[in-house]
Amino acid sequence: MTVIVGVIESFDGDRGWGLLRGEGGRAFYFHCAEIADGSRTIGVGLRAHGARVVGRLGHDEVANVAPVD
């Protein structure tokens, strides 16, 4: 498992999709169902981490997204 650490660049609560920009500059999408605390929302600009996974469409995404302590 690869852990991605970065900043929440965008989050659309209506559509349920967000974008985590990793420290290396690469962007990873995530769905609100993948937010670790179950709240289905997360703040833009928040430093966060998650596990890189292959999504339903075969693209790299982030799962288990949580704020960095």
Position 42: which residue type?
Answer: I
Beta-carbon contacts of residue 30 (< 8 Å; ≥ 6 apart): 17, 18, 19, 20, 50, 61, 62, 63, 65
Residue 50: what pLDDT?
A: 97
Spell out the domain ranges in the chain.
3-67
Residue 56: what pLDDT?
A: 80
CATH T-level topology, domain 3-67: OB fold (Dihydrolipoamide Acetyltransferase, E2P) (2.40.50)
pLDDT in tens, 36-66: 999 999 999 999 999 999 988 888 999 999 9
Greatest CA span in the chain, whole angstroms? 31
Residue 14: what pLDDT?
A: 95
CB atoms within 10 A of CB 53: 17
Q: What percent of the chain has pLDDT over 70?
A: 100
The mean pLDDT value for 23-31 works out to 95
